[in-house]
Amino acid sequence: MSEPLVNVIRGGRVESIHRGDWVLVDVSGRILAHKGDPMKRTFWRSSAKPFQALPTLEAGAAEKFSMTTEEISLLCASHNGEPRHVETALGLLHKMGLDESALDCGTAQPMLLEAAFETIGRGESFTQLQNPCSGKHSGMLALCLLNGWPLENYIMRDHPVQKEMLKSIAHAVSMEEKYIGIAIDGCGVPVFELPLYNMALAYARLSLPEAFFEGAGLSAAKTVAHAMTTAPFFVAGTKRLDTNLMEATQGRILAKLGAESVYCVSLMTKGVALVLKIEDGSYRAIDPVVIDLLSRMGELSESELEALSYHRKPLLRNQRKEIIGHLECVDPEVNFDFDATWSPNVDKVML
């Protein structure tokens, strides 16, 4: 059962409560701490994107299409639709001999309101390039080109590229494909339902890829992790926790949002990952929980906490821009079987 994680405070009183579940897992499969149900099943949504990028990179797309670090980061992104995101997505498509018309993710308003207002102000319509998933879809198209698969209907569950996506996910989370739930994501492709524990296990493996991946898979996992932490703006963008957290920690922490408030964090090189799900899908509850837990684990310095203050204790304002409340974490009352100096024994990976 989900536990209270965040209180919404107005006038010094609790007005609302956001409940959720989180789990901290190491690369050997050990649960280090949790709140709520660590085996709760939910859809991974866009937090699965780093693992959906792996087959594309394993197939040699980075070399074939001379992908930059920023373009590889965009493969894993739920980006804001800012100009740099749009330009990078279009540039990647052009390298592949394609244009926006090849995408089938759907037209979307940019996630960043300022970018949306700028588009409207120019008298332009929103495009598929502004869709937060345009990078992921470009990666899928690249995999189609490398394998000679048809570009038409690439979003359909029975298309070879989507079968590769499911295969990659199943491998990363150590589950048989038949036990992974399938539905349709916001951008039209299949989306995966599985336990929070298995999501965390995959992100722990991404933080220490040599403990699990092999051959081309190892190279691809290292490339994804490096790109996301080196070019974090292209994972999300302005004012976004994913980007700000990776920038503040200089890539020591990798982070990825999923729709309906799934959030995944890798402690790079430590083989440890945190996965959070807010029960009601409210995005506003994510930031304070993530920052609070990382702080309690000793993973954020005072200067890093200061840099992330915008996310640590979100303020509530009324229509007059007056501060009328804030969000704060409920004391989780957990003891971590972990500290900042802990490192896994990579010779004892059980799963």
Give the separation between CA 101 and CA 129, rounded to whole angstroms: 10
Model pLDDT, residue 351: 35
240 inside domain: yes
Q: How far apart are CA 36 and CA 5, in angstroms?
A: 10
pLDDT reported for residue 331: 77
- Token readout for 251 is 């890539």
Query: For residue 101, is it within any domain?
Result: yes
Inter-residue contact 200 to 273 (CB < 8 Å)? yes
Cβ–Cβ under 8 Å, residues 326 and 10? no
What Å distances lie between residue 209 and 59, 155, 213, 346, CA to CA? 18, 28, 6, 10
Which element (helix H / strand E) includes 221? helix 215-230
Comparing C-alpha atoms, which of 320, 265, 271 is closest to residue 295?
A: 265
Query: Which tokens in the block code for residue 31?
Result: 């649960």
pTM exceeds 0.85 for this model: yes
Q: What CATH number is given to the structural domain containing 129?
A: 3.40.710
Domain membership of residue 321 (yes or no) is: yes
Q: Is 63 part of a structural domain of the chain?
A: yes
Q: Is 4 helix (H, G, I), strand (E, B) or coil?
A: strand
Longest dimension (CA), the chain: 61
Q: How far apart are CA 8 and CA 321, in angstroms?
A: 17
Q: How far apart are CA 229 and CA 313, in angstroms?
A: 24
Structure tokens at 6: 């965040």
CA angle at 75 for the pair 73 and 78, rounded to the nearest 5°: 85
What does the pLDDT read at residue 337? 58
Strand pairing category for 181-184 and 31-35: unpaired
Q: What is the number of other CB atoms lying within 10 angstroms of the CB of residue 147?
A: 12
Report if residue 112 sits inside a domain.
Answer: yes
Task: Establish if 93 belongs to a structural domain.
Answer: yes
Distances (CA, A) of 293 to 48, 115, 198, 223, 305: 22, 31, 19, 27, 12
Q: Render each residue's pLDDT in the chain as its tens digit; 351 residues.
A: 899 999 999 999 999 999 999 999 999 999 999 999 999 999 999 999 999 999 999 999 999 999 999 999 999 999 999 999 999 999 999 999 999 999 999 999 999 999 999 999 999 999 999 999 999 999 999 999 999 999 999 999 999 999 999 999 999 999 999 999 999 999 999 999 999 999 999 999 999 999 999 999 999 999 999 999 999 999 999 999 999 999 999 999 999 999 999 999 999 989 999 999 999 999 999 999 999 999 999 999 999 999 999 999 999 999 999 999 999 999 766 666 555 455 544 443 333
Q: CB-based burial of residue 125 (10 Å sphere; 0-12 exposed, 13-18 middle, 19+ buried)? A: exposed
Residue 343 confidence (pLDDT): 53
Which pLDDT score is estimated for 332? 67
For residues 52 and 140, give the distance between their C-alpha atoms in angstroms, rounded to a whole number.
Answer: 8
Domain count, the chain: 1
CA dihedral 254, 181, 171, 60 (to 10 degrees): -70
Query: What distance in Å separates the CA atoms of residue 290 and residue 165, rounded to the nearest whole number?
Result: 28
Gap between the Cα atoms of 83 and 203, Å rounded = 29
| Residues spanned by the domain of 11 | 3-337
In a domain, 344, yes or no: no
For residue 278, what is the DSSP state? Answer: E
Residue 350 domain-assigned (yes or no): no
